[in-house]
Amino acid sequence: MAAKKSEQALVGEWREMLALHARTLGELDRALGPHGLGASDFEVLDVLMEAGTPGGETCLRVQEIASRIHLSQSALSRLVARLERDALVRRVMCSDDRRGVRVELTDVGRSRHAEARPLQREVLARMLDGAGE
């Protein structure tokens, strides 16, 4: 009977984690919406900002972005196309491998990220504070 209860507890924890994830994504989408961003949009901009070099280069290969956020390759491609259409990123050829494509933040993307970052961090702090307790 103890093993059955342990299994139920595991499933319960899993479902609580999924519910927290869904609530947090909803809150992020509402907070970032006025900035023309969704949670996944912001995540791509944030990953690109974190990848920035001292020289200011903020670009990564699409595969590198995919490894850092949890979207399928096709969903990420559509998202990058939308961000590119909104002038937040641009695709550039890799200088070291002409077959590769990098995604680079634009000045507009940097500015939008800077505007939205405090809101995103506030939502994360509010939603995740004590969530693991």
Domains of the chain with bracketed CATH: 2-128 (1.10.10.10)
**What does the chain look like in DSSP terms, one character per residue?**
-HHHHHHHHHHHHHHHHHHHHHHHHHHHHHHHGGGT--HHHHHHHHHHHHT--TT---EEEHHHHHHHS---HHHHHHHHHHHHHTTSEEEEE-SS-TT-EEEEE-HHHHHHHHHHHHHHHHHHHHHHTTTT-
Q: State if pTM tops 0.75.
A: yes
Write the pLDDT tens digit of every residue in 61-85: 888 898 899 888 889 999 999 999 9
What is the DSSP track for 65-82?
HHHHS---HHHHHHHHHH
Q: What is the predicted pLDDT for the residue at 99? A: 67
pLDDT digits (tens, 9 = 90+) for 2-20: 556 688 899 999 999 999 9
- pLDDT above 80: residue 98: no
